[in-house]
Amino acid sequence: MSNPSPRPRRSVARNVIPPWQPLTAFLALMAIVYALIFFTGDGKPEPKLGIDLQGGTRVVLTARTDDGKAPQRDQLDLARSIIEQRVNGLGVGGSEVVVNGSNIVITVPGDDGKQARALGQTARLFIRPVDPVTGTVPATPQPEQEGPRPADMTAQQQAAAIEEQRRLRQAPADADDARLQQLREHMAKMNCSPDWADPLVGHDSPDQYLVACSDDGEAVYLLEPKLIDGRDVAKASAQQNDTGAWVVIVDYEGDARKTWAEYTAANIGRQTAVTLDSRVLSAPSINSAITGSTEISGDFTQDAAQSLANALKYGSLPLSFSASEAETVSATLGWQALRAALIAGLIGLIAVLIYSLAYYRMLGFLAAGSLVVAGIMVYGVMVLLGRWIGFTLDLAGMAGLIIGIGMTADSFVVYFERIKDEMREGRSFKSAVPRGWASARRTIWTGNAVSFIASVIIYALAVGEVRGFAFTLGLSTLLDVLVVFLVTHPLVELSTRSKFLSKPSINGLGAVSEVARARRRAAARSSSAKESIQ
């Protein structure tokens, strides 16, 4: 009887890329991340924390209606939805927008009260021709006017104040010269102080004449009925012009684009105002026909330009609101709860590391080092995201990071167990590593792909803190792939070149090597027995 042919061994091509190359690439990437942290922005390596961890700023928006009646619930829900879209568009992570009775409560991380108040801007934008008789009139300083702010008025008081301002500052489109002269005379009495809470904000009739102040309070205008409505905006974006000033670029859609092109062609030299919530952002003279995008200037800061573009992009609010003064809110968890959570997480991490070192020894040490590197990289990315897109790290986000780092540990286990499987078949540590990696990386890819897809779906469907959890889970999943492929595997590959680290007593694979030797001895005895039978 002939001897059975030996089982064919799988052939696995060794990685032709030297291990030091991916390690160098990862170190370079980490160096870039931390260079951006320390040499851009404020240079502080601190992530932005959410409301539950560091507190924030709260502004209460009180709805105002023309007739003084309570707003309808569907109007409040629509306003809340639009404000949430503005929050997401600005990248104000970790914010809360809730309906409370007839109010909408906005809470944003940090102490930027202006940002919270801007989110509640009605954003009714119109293009209005300026009265050619008066043009731009310097605003006359007015004495301080005592009286309640709109937010402190009753509904009836608000309705009465709106009606009074309409009587003084508006006139029908077919008004006679006598009525228009009354409006021109009122311009000298107009209070244009930026501190004055104008009751007419968001309540002016766009189809009538309007007396309005410039946004900086320096000038007053008599404006003709609207030419273009902000609802006809197709898209809006904040950009810097040739002089470096921030402007908002607006494109109109449909008939509005045609109307604007015809108007600008027929009114060269005519002063035309861009108004937002009853105030004039800018009133330039038309230099030429405009058939494409329109530039809105107004001495904007970057944040103001982005806020306006964001408001125009997502539409006007169905209600106008008066905002309360910003108030500081304390962290809902507090430092003690945060410290307890961090201690618990640290204890869990130490327990995992101890188990890894005891079970895998040298491989466990490499896993521990990879986890530390992953944590450092995740922290750096969190700092940059907070600085660039306003992402805030809250407790839900921390949970996503912890789960993501746990998945990184799972990837290590999958890889190391594949190496052990190869060694059980009788291969040496050096030959088992590339074969184990070829098998493990498919599993690692699949597991991380499932996790990333799940995080994307959760992020798309969820709101609030759950989105923060999904975002950090997806981010840590991507970094898991980077760490395993660019750090862990190259380190294990390098360890196979060291005689010391290849010793079974050092790399933790002694028991597996003993099993492989026992199998080889058993196979040899079985082969000898078969030969003796022959």
- Beta bridge pairs of residue 235: 251
Identify the weakest region by mean pLDDT among 282-286, 335-339, 352-356, 461-465.
335-339
Architecture (CATH level 2) of domain 123-329: 2-Layer Sandwich (3.30)
**Which run of H or E residues covers position 387?**
helix 362-388
Can you give the pLDDT at residue 2? Answer: 44
**pLDDT at residue number 178:** 93
Say if residues 209 and 175 touch (Cβ distance below 8 Å).
yes
Judge residue 457's burial from the number of C-beta atoms within 10 Å of its C-beta, 0-12 exposed, 13-18 middle, 19 or more buried: exposed
Rounded to an integer, the average pLDDT of 13-19 is 65
Say which CATH superfamily domain 25-48+334-523 falls into.
Answer: Multidrug efflux transporter AcrB transmembrane domain (1.20.1640.10)
Query: Residues 6 or more apart from 136 whose CB is under 8 A from it?
Result: 130, 219, 221, 271, 283
Give every CB contact of residue 17 below 8 A, 6+ residues apart in sequence: none
Residue 7 pLDDT level (bands cut at 50, 70, 90): very low
Query: Please, what is the average pLDDT of the chain?
Result: 81
Residue 533: alpha-carbon gap to chain centroid? 75
Residue 115's nearest CA partner among 49, 45, 59 is 59
Q: Does the pLDDT value for residue 148 go beyond 60?
A: no
pLDDT at 268: 92
Q: What is the pLDDT of residues 433-492, one digit of tens each?
A: 999 999 899 999 999 999 999 999 998 887 667 888 899 999 999 998 999 999 999 999
Going by pLDDT thresholds of 50, 70 and 90, the confidence category of residue 3 is: very low
Q: Tell me: the pLDDT tens digits for 273-323?
A: 988 888 888 888 888 888 888 888 777 888 778 877 877 777 667 777 777
Amino acid at 406: G
Helix (H) or strand (E) holding 500: none
Residue extents of the structural domains in the chain: 25-48+334-523, 123-329
Is the pLDDT at 169 greater than 70, yes or no? yes
In 3D space, the residue among 412, 332, 321, 400 whose CA is nearest the CA of residue 372 turns out to be 412
Task: Tell how strand 233-240 and strand 228-229 pair up.
Answer: unpaired
Please say if the pLDDT value at position 33 is more than 90.
yes
Residues of the chain with pLDDT > 70, as a percent, come to: 81
Do 25-48+334-523 and 123-329 fold alike per CATH?
A: no
CA 33 to CA 491: how far, in whole Å? 22
Most confident option among 114-123, 166-175, 344-353, 462-471: 166-175
| Partners of 299 in the β-ladder | none
**Distance in angstroms (rounded) separating the CA atoms of residues 509 and 361:** 8
Mean pLDDT of 331-337: 63
What is the average per-residue pLDDT within 204-212?
92
CB 20 within 8 Å of CB 490: yes
The pLDDT tens digits of the residues spanning 68-123 come to 677 888 888 888 887 877 776 655 556 788 888 888 888 877 766 666 666 776 66
- What six digits make up the tokens of 58? 């709260």
What type of residue sits at position 217? G
Instruction: Count CB-CB contacts under 10 A for residue 183.
Output: 21
Rounded distance between C-alpha atoms, residue 534 and residue 518, angstroms: 25
- Token pair 């895998």 is found at 360
